[in-house]
Structure 1
């Protein structure tokens, strides 16, 4: 679930998934953010039923620098910092575990010792009811010793102290592993991450292929999914009339960038045959109609380069309005992210 909007960077991953390379990938995630590095930092959570899992990743330090945001040291600067993270051309889709939407209460810092203003980079995966958010913190910030949850009661249950004196509506478990801290509504997922058996989302070849494609560009945040968005409540004939011609894809990623002070977005699809799928994907973006607004996509965005490489088709778009257009379209089941046939 998207809980906030901000910005971030890009970093390359490692090769084969040995324990040694996985450790290096996890370390690199904190020191130099990348999409592939974010996948390596997350446990191999599986999708639930027909709902695709969703991955969120970003670099809040880079976002603050790009937006020339103030250091959040008091209520006013905190409000300005938080608002700035949602101001074009920046955009990050953040997991609930990052707590950006609850930042003003101060409850998270009081309870666990840090909050979003102390986070440098983050990676998260949601496949509800399972989820986990992994963060790296600024120097001097850290998890309060002995804290294992964000509230009283069972992890995953509603926090009885919400909304007056709790960081989240649901109790999150909290744990630390090396320099990283994780929060999760699932004790089992948190335990898996803590033990670190070597499995990660980087075991998903399709997600990794998409991550590599995004990391080839100067992106500053990313959202990934292991499947298409939910079909809107429209008959197939209506969707086809909107020039919805997307081929099947088993992973998609969206990365944010800034060029000449304006937002750009890279959308990468993992498909069976990238060369064959390229024209269909490009046609959807250039000639399609929005299922949400019922207007041509060309009114909402400009389409740039479309490339096919290593099983991935990547489309560069420039939103004509706010940044984050592609992520919003995915969440709303719009034409470029649904497969009709």
Structure 2
């Protein structure tokens, strides 16, 4: 009797397995890990995304901030999660393009340990100065070339996108000899710009815009292809310094653990594309200073991330002593 019951249990499990495998996704809440603390630009976009993704999928998408180690802690947690589509990562340029470049011993491999779902855009960078500084980016850079002691600029930290993008801009403007001052976040650097103790700061456009509009700081350039409609008086870095194609965006992308089933990725990608194509969603993001990407595919997102990594590799190699100092 015991043997017969065991055989029946095995048979029942075999019959149930296809039903489980074919269960419609998603059938329960999804966890979206944000690898940075609450309140920053990544957190803002992640909450826009999670709210709309929940509507598209018909299941709650719960955000969870897991900051630390430059985004590595939250990223690793998702890389090691079960590949079933119920644990996702809201990654960034910092975690998936710059981290493998600036970290001597990376704790994860961007390609091997993650499956890309979608690249969804983010906050373009903007450079701001105290109102007493030169009125244009070209004039500021010209003054910086001969300033003694050298002018300083602040970023949220060594190896961040803000740091590396500024180094790229300095290089393109003729290797301007400015001194980098790393801060513990963008806000402290902006405070010193406002106080006039720091010559230049760099932040996302959305964070810098209120300072510019309020007259507490002047935005000299934005790293977008065209001027932003919310600040038409601010030129792009490309036009201000004659650097065709210069762009720098704190972009965001959604990742899943490796070996996530293709149907799950297709469902997530399709839902993301619906929201990226929606004018109301894009308008809401624009109000927060976020520029959404056009709809795409996991393959196009992976290609974009690989290209961004290679774009910053030369400047990282050039400032390697500072990164490892």
What TM-score results when the alignment is normalised by the length of structure 2?
Answer: 0.26
Q: Which one has the largest radius of gyration?
A: 2
Structure that is richer in helix per residue: 2
What TM-score results when the alignment is normalised by the length of structure 1?
Answer: 0.25
